[in-house]
Amino acid sequence: MRRPHIGVCLGLVIGVMAVGYARARDTGAQTSTIEGNGYLIRQAALVLTMDPNLGAGGILGQLEDADVLLVGDHIAAVGVHLSAPSGVHVIDGRGMIVMPGFVDTHDHLWQSLIRGCATDDDLNGWLSRCTSSLSTHPVSEADAYAGVRLSTAGLIETGVTTVVDWSAPFGTPFIRGNVRALTDAKLRFAFAMFGSASDGADIVAIKAEFIDPNPLATLQVATHPAPFFATHVAEATAIAKALGVKLHVHVLENLRQVAEDPLGILQAAGAFALGRDLYTAHSIHLSDANIATLAGLGASVSHQPLSNMRLASGIMRYPDIQAAGIRIGLGLDGGTNDTTDLFNNMRAAVGLQRAKALDAHASPTVAEVLRAATMGGAETLDMESQIGSLTPGKQADVIVIDTQALNFAPVLRPVAQLVFNGQPQNVK
Amino acid sequence: MRRPHIGVCLGLVIGVMAVGYARARDTGAQTSTIEGNGYLIRQAALVLTMDPNLGAGGILGQLEDADVLLVGDHIAAVGVHLSAPSGVHVIDGRGMIVMPGFVDTHDHLWQSLIRGCATDDDLNGWLSRCTSSLSTHPVSEADAYAGVRLSTAGLIETGVTTVVDWSAPFGTPFIRGNVRALTDAKLRFAFAMFGSASDGADIVAIKAEFIDPNPLATLQVATHPAPFFATHVAEATAIAKALGVKLHVHVLENLRQVAEDPLGILQAAGAFALGRDLYTAHSIHLSDANIATLAGLGASVSHQPLSNMRLASGIMRYPDIQAAGIRIGLGLDGGTNDTTDLFNNMRAAVGLQRAKALDAHASPTVAEVLRAATMGGAETLDMESQIGSLTPGKQADVIVIDTQALNFAPVLRPVAQLVFNGQPQNVK
């Protein structure tokens, strides 16, 4: 069994709080002294900045044989032949790809507790067999904590640095175990909390205790736009509006949900007024009119291709949704995905569209899927000014991928190989 | 980077030639002394024998907390509480899944040399950009050797113990480098040789030098049923008939090939007379009539879902082909697959059909895909009496999968988790 490199990874991912840092925005810019902790990744074979202003390759912003300087919790400089300020730790980047950490825009981290459940069933059967009984026999705080910590260890293995965790309606102890584990994992996260009046789970209280004091944390409000949840949708919409946060919902994941008109339920609850703060996961069985509606609102879509395959949910209209100008991020989706393999998720996003359309140019392309997994995900969260690219000044959410591995050799076309050869074991 | 456990894996996979061994065919059977080398895998959490007569779970033949005794190069016994003959090496199987090694029924091992090539193109573009120039600027013997050895190391990592390697029309030095590397990898293999009169590559001579002396090796004859290859198809068919070996062809991988009528070309060349020895890879755009034809011949089909996604080839009619009684194996397909991840290939085989049909019961099921990856593959090769299940008397082609890993925990439904959680790093 491979030892998880959690220590190393967290060191790079989170950095430490800066006492002070020097910024250098351009290629080749230099810093001479720093205060606080610093890391210089030197001579990386490839830096995918995901900032078109910092390198070649269009949206990928590629630099070869380049350096990345991290000071405190920020990216201080990206360029070729940066000089090392005194006191920084120099990391040998030869043979490595350096890029922004992946943004997992829709997950259910507690569901590692039910891995492999009902793998012969679709969404409805899976919900019935794997989660329904948990509402009456709630997952304990300790179990929620353990499951979420297990999942976050897997996320770190596969290079995720920001995760959106859609919780569950299992009551306050569960919610507390869930958010405590997220906090302790030291990942950047958005906690999509499913609150309920009946069990006393208090979104405002959780926000005050766990989210507001944590610079890595943001809050979302979770609900489910189905007829039997209409009251909850209205309450959740009101809370999201009051707090100025996103409302995160599952929309049209299974074909049978078309008859429930989830967008109609959201509209009736006033959720369309949330505009950019409406966050719709799955969004598979959207009509042309549904796509136009979401585009008009400025809503975001989170796409879970591996889960959609496992649960026989279908193939999202990725090219049409992208063409409508809707922001798209990728998500792993918890127990219905199982593998916690971001590379596999990217491959599936690309391959599903190609297999359906018989067209190798169907979106997402290789570049588009890499962007969706990083900068695109940041945009869905309206966090693109903080994360998603290696733009100096942004947070030091950086991953290092070692291409000196059997599955990568020979490294001739590293960008394409990242998507088609990459495995979690390559993330240092 | 993870160290590849090649030594350990080969030790288990190949065993050594037996001087003599005791057979014990039934659960609980015991052997008291052995001559030659032996291994007892004791108390494996789960043994998937793939032999319905040896355990529960129908086609999976499952045993829990069970032992597997390997003597020489054969499986001597499978059962609960086997006693250890003197002199055997005892391996602690707790937390492990023991199962037959995977059979990769269609690969192009030299193509690790062109990993990541033309990832934005379909089959026709990929052939044109990545392989056409190699016919006039041939891959050298040394490069063929290196590429194939690299690929076989990846196969061993992901638990493949038998591979069918469809070579390439690059001339004798290439062929020799290819088959030498296969030989040195000590995997069980079928070499599907693409011979050519013009370059002197002599199938009969290669067979005599490399295949006949090697008990792990078998020969197939490779050709391509396209109009510009009609003469070659006829010659290759005659050679396959004369040698009594399989004719291995790509059929209807891309939609444009429907107009070429590859089955008509094979029929005109006399290849239908090969019956069970006709081996058709991909077989995506088969009509109902095509499926009936292949079923009537007793031909085999090899399925490459990851490649079919990457190259926008389409979704094979797996349920219809299986329902017609056609033998189906899975294949990784070389440079157009990239990942060398058998677990991912199984997931893709399952998920593609589900995403297309919106039906979680679409074939292959979890059990069916595990069988296709092992016993089903053996059947396509007419090697089911030697490999594909852990039936005592068969070859000791055994893999051990360590479920004590982040991506497997908690191990509640190991069979399902093998398909949906498994990663190459879990193969010991």
The model's pLDDT over B68-113, given as tens digits with 9 standing for 90+, comes to: 999 999 999 999 999 988 999 999 999 999 999 999 999 999 999 9
The pLDDT score that the predictor gives to residue A195 is 84
Please report which residue ranges of A275-365 form alpha helices under DSSP H.
Answer: 288-297, 305-310, 318-323, 342-357
Task: Tell me the average pLDDT across A190-203.
Answer: 77
Task: Tell me the average pLDDT across A378-398.
Answer: 98
CB atoms within 10 A of CB B410: 15
Residue B367, both tokens: 């059990």
Contact A158, A424 (CB under 8 A): yes
Contact B58, B52 (CB under 8 A): yes
Among A328-332, B48-52, B333-337, B369-373, which is the least confidently predicted range?
Answer: B333-337
Distances (CA, A) of B397 to B214, B344, B373: 16, 21, 13
Task: Tell me the average pLDDT across A344-355.
Answer: 97
Task: Tell me the average pLDDT across B299-305.
Answer: 98
Chain-centre distance of CA A288, in angstroms?
Answer: 26
Mean pLDDT over the full length of chain B: 90
Contact A189, A163 (CB under 8 A): yes
pLDDT tens-digit profile of B322-368?
A: 999 999 999 999 866 677 899 999 999 999 999 999 999 999 999 99
Interchain pair B112, A310: CB under 8 A:
no
The pLDDT score that the predictor gives to residue A78 is 98
Residue A316, both tokens: 């999202």
The whole-angstrom separation of Cα B148 and Cα B187 is 12
Contacts of B357 in chain A (CB under 8 A): 312
For residue A24, give the amino acid letter: A
Q: What is the spatial order of strands in the sheet that A160-166 belongs to?
A: A102-107, A160-166, A188-193, A217-222, A246-251, A278-282, A300-303, A327-330
Contacts of A403 in chain B (CB under 8 A): none
The pLDDT score that the predictor gives to residue B137 is 79
Task: Give the distance from residue A343's alpha carbon to the nearest chain B alpha carbon, in angstroms.
Answer: 10
Note whether B114 contacts A: Cβ–Cβ < 8 A.
yes
The whole-angstrom separation of Cα B48 and Cα B190 is 24
Task: Give B269's DSSP letter.
Answer: T
The pLDDT score that the predictor gives to residue B334 is 84
pLDDT above 60: residue A219: yes
Interchain pair A406, B120: CB under 8 A:
no
Q: Which residue has the tokens 């990898």?
A: B185
**Three-state DSSP class for residue A232:** helix
CB atoms within 10 A of CB B143: 17
Residue B62, both tokens: 């499952």
The pLDDT score that the predictor gives to residue A135 is 73
Dihedral over alpha carbons B369, B371, B373, B377 (to 10 degrees): -130
The pLDDT score that the predictor gives to residue A160 is 98
CB atoms within 10 A of CB A292: 13
Note whether A3 contacts B: Cβ–Cβ < 8 A.
no
% pLDDT > 90, chain A: 81
- pLDDT-derived band at B26 (thresholds 50, 70, 90) equals very low
Backbone angles phi, psi at A411, to 5 degrees: -85, 95
β pairing state of B160-166 and A74-79: unpaired
pLDDT above 60: residue B287: yes
The residues facing B399 across adjacent strands are: B99
The pLDDT score that the predictor gives to residue B277 is 98
pLDDT above 50: residue B20: no
Contact A34, A22 (CB under 8 A): yes
The whole-angstrom separation of Cα A227 and Cα B29 is 59
The pLDDT score that the predictor gives to residue A174 is 93
Backbone angles phi, psi at B94, to 5 degrees: -60, 135
Interface ipTM: 0.90
pLDDT tens-digit profile of B126-185?
A: 999 998 888 777 799 999 999 999 999 999 999 999 999 999 988 889 999 999 999 999
Task: Give the distance from residue B406's alpha carbon to the nearest chain A alpha carbon, in angstroms.
Answer: 6
- Residue closest to B179 by CA, chosen among B222, B233, B121, B241: B222
Contact B350, B369 (CB under 8 A): yes
The pLDDT score that the predictor gives to residue A132 is 83
Interchain pair A405, B344: CB under 8 A:
no
The whole-angstrom separation of Cα A353 and Cα B257 is 21
Mean pLDDT over the full length of chain A: 90
- Residue closest to B93 by CA, chosen among B416, B424, B414, B423: B414
Q: Which residues contact A366 (CB under 8 A, 6 or more apart)?
A: A350, A415, A416, A419, A420, B119, B120
Interface test with B, best of A8, A128, A354 (most B CBs within 10 A): A354
The residues facing A86 across adjacent strands are: A33
pLDDT above 90: residue A245: yes
pLDDT above 50: residue A31: no
Contact B220, B164 (CB under 8 A): yes
- pLDDT-derived band at A337 (thresholds 50, 70, 90) equals low
The pLDDT score that the predictor gives to residue A74 is 96
- pLDDT-derived band at A134 (thresholds 50, 70, 90) equals confident
Of A125, A308, A420, nearest to B119 by CB-CB distance is A420
Higher per-residue pLDDT: B17 or B66: B66
Among A197-206, A354-363, B225-234, B241-250, which is the least confidently predicted range?
Answer: A197-206
The whole-angstrom separation of Cα B227 and Cα B229 is 5
- pLDDT-derived band at A335 (thresholds 50, 70, 90) equals low
pLDDT tens-digit profile of B367-416?
A: 999 999 999 999 999 999 999 999 999 999 999 999 999 888 899 999 99
The pLDDT score that the predictor gives to residue A16 is 25
